[in-house]
């Protein structure tokens, strides 16, 4: 087994179209024909509800996590932490690429945010948990999955560059690129948020109903 084999395997893992398979198997629809047309957790929340949106998000995170752990299959990367981190970034990005352009689903996938979270979780768990904390807090306050993803991604380079001050230039650059990439892939969501037309996730609806009654 060599690096190229693992890179291909990481892409194939990322290509597992969780939202598409869930929507087809349990609902006999293609999630890409509904909502935003995106095969990711956000659109699954919107179309299929909180339960299935959470399932899709967790599985998509596992894809990124599993991809970076492939580095441990090569002895060299077990002993060299610096080289391992750089290789894991590459493997994780291949998984994200697979998620966005899945070979198992006509190359029409999601935006890769959950898979990116899984990537970070596999390399630096504490940073990932902090980002998930930001995501969860924003989601609780606003019910916008897209806004939660954007703000968590923007927090990522802050944690890497400032708070944890990670001493790996490749990882630092990667953190900044991730934030820019998420903003780039969420332009339509940002536009809808500014217009007030972005859909909220079907969670904590009781809280909104209580506010209306008051």
Give dist(CA 182, CA 154) in Å, integer: 8
Q: What is the pTM of this model?
A: 0.86
Phi first, then psi: give them for residue 2, nearest 5 degrees.
-130, -175
d(CA 30, CA 26): 10
For the chain, the domains span 3-213
SS3 190: helix
Q: What is the pLDDT of residues 21-74, one digit of tens each?
A: 999 999 999 999 998 898 998 899 889 988 999 999 999 999 999 999 999 999
Looking at residue 173, its pLDDT comes to 93
Residues in the chain with pLDDT < 50?
A: 212
Least Cα distance to 71 among 58, 93, 52, 86 occurs for 86
């Amino acid at each position: 087994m060599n690096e190229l084999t693992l890179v291909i395997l990481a892409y194939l893992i990322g290509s597992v179209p969780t939202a598409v398979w869930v929507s087809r198997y349990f609902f006999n629809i293609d999630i890409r024909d509904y909502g935003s047309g995106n095969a990711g957790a956000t659109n699954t929340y919107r179309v299929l509800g909180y339960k299935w949106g959470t399932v899709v998000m967790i599985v998509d995170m596992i894809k990124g996590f599993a991809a970076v752990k492939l580095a441990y299959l090569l002895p060299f990367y077990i002993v060299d932490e610096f080289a391992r981190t750089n290789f894991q970034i590459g493997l994780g990005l291949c998984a994200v690429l697979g998620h966005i352009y899945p070979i198992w689903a006509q190359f029409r996938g999601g935006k890769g945010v959950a898979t990116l979270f899984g990537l970070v979780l596999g390399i630096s768990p504490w940073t990932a948990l902090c980002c998930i904390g930001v995501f969860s807090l924003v989601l609780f306050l606003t019910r916008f999955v897209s806004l939660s993803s954007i703000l968590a991604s923007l927090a990522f380079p802050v944690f890497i560059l400032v708070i944890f001050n990670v001493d790996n230039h490749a990882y630092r650059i990667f953190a900044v690129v991730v934030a820019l990439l998420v903003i780039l892939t969420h332009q339509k969501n940002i536009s809808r948020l500014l217009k007030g037309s972005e859909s909220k996730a079907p969670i904590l609806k009781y809280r909104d109903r209580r506010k209306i009654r008051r």
